Amino acid sequence: MLSMAFGEKWKGTKPENSQEPKDQLPSRKNKFSFRIVSNESSEAGKGSPKRWSTVKPQPRESFSTVGSIEDGTASRDGPAVNYSTKSKSSRRRVEFLGTSATAHPWILFFFRSFAFVFCFIQLIFWYMSTNWAKQPPVLFYTNWGFILCISYFLCAAVCSGMKVCTTTRKLPNWFYLMVCGLFELAIVTECSISALYWTLIFPSSGECGLICITAHALSTFCLLMDFLMNRHYLLARHLKRVYALSFFWLSTQVGWVYTGHTAIYGVLTLRDELSVIVIMGATFIQAVVFYALQRVGKLRDQINGDKESTRFELDDLDDLDVE
């Protein structure tokens, strides 16, 4: 019996073809309230009483009520918190993007600020030392990944700065989504670029200066270090975003090559069978990198015992409380 399963008593009867009194109707103040009617009347016969239960949504637990380890408002030795009932809005807070389970907020702030300033300076030097008429830097896939890296560290440094320098805790929805999207694109793209450069391009060129090392190694190292300290996690369904970015870049190469220009990369001329093999191999490498990073993130959370970055799923039935 449905009402007995919820620990309810008989709310009254409702004979067939009769009008229910108004005082038995669910409250109109809560538009989410509704009634559950048991179908046991078919067993008892015509005119048997039906059982009614009023169900109301139970308020979700927000990130602010959980507290922050750095603020001293929560402790890992304290009572366990059911994170599966948290809403998505609980993630849109400074504590999620601007803190770490392993590093102090100030350390995270200085690291992100240094990474942004250093990479941005190298990007300026790269643009100043390149012949834009022959090979514009914006056509290089390395440049796309490098800009994503710089953009992420800028936004991440802002989040860390808000944590240590302000009392603001809630982030705008668009900013939260932008930071998370930038991180996923940046770390997967940079790791893929580094793997492809050092295996395909560097053996033929044999030289790599400071700007080259920064764009193909140091930026990737900074992102990996940040990944080990932050609370980001990679969702499998977001791999399509990485592929969308890559194929958009590839379309710019097609437009560049087939308008009478020389290909940016010698291994990707887009005029031979080798280019097809490189594209297929790069697509496979991006998938391997994505799922490897996803596994690293889960292992990071297990080692740190950081439940705040654990992925959660929302189930409406978990938020219903029978009165």
Q: For residue 309, what pLDDT is reported?
A: 59
The token duo for 123 is 């990007």
* Helical (H) or strand (E) element with 320: strand 320-322
d(CA 129, CA 228): 34
Q: Residue 23 pLDDT more than 60?
A: no
Which of the residue ranges 5-19, 229-243, 256-270 would you say has the lowest mean pLDDT?
5-19
Q: List, edge to edge, every strand of the sheet that includes 320-322.
A: 34-37, 52-57, 320-322
Average pLDDT of the residues of the chain: 77
Q: What is the 3-state secondary structure (H, E, C) of 185-253?
A: HHHHHHHHHHHHHHHHHHHHHCCCCHHHHHHHHHHHHHHHHHHHHCCCCCCHHHHHHHHHHHHHHHHHH
**Would you say 176 and 91 are in contact if contact means Cβ atoms under 8 Å apart?**
yes
Which of the residue ranges 7-11, 152-156, 259-263, 304-308 would you say has the lowest mean pLDDT?
7-11
Q: Residue 211 pLDDT more than 60?
A: yes
The set of residues, in sequence order, having a beta carbon less than 8 Å from that of 130 and lying 6+ positions away, is 136, 137
**For the chain, how far is it from start to end, CA to CA, in angstroms?**
16
Q: What are phi and psi of 67, to 5 degrees?
A: 95, 175
Q: Calculate what percentage of the chain has a pLDDT beyond 90.
A: 49
d(CA 261, CA 275): 16
Which has more pLDDT, 8 or 198? 198
Domain regions of the chain by residue span: 2-57, 64-309
**Would you say 243 and 282 are in contact if contact means Cβ atoms under 8 Å apart?**
no
DSSP state of 71: T
Which of the residue ranges 162-171, 188-197, 260-269, 305-314 would you say has the lowest mean pLDDT?
305-314
pTM of the model: 0.69
Closest CA to 156 of 91, 121, 111, 89: 111
Q: For residue 191, what pLDDT is reported?
A: 97
Split at pLDDT 50, 70, 90, the class of 169 is confident
| Average pLDDT over every residue of 102-130 | 94
- List pLDDT tens digits, range 214-234: 999 999 999 999 999 999 989
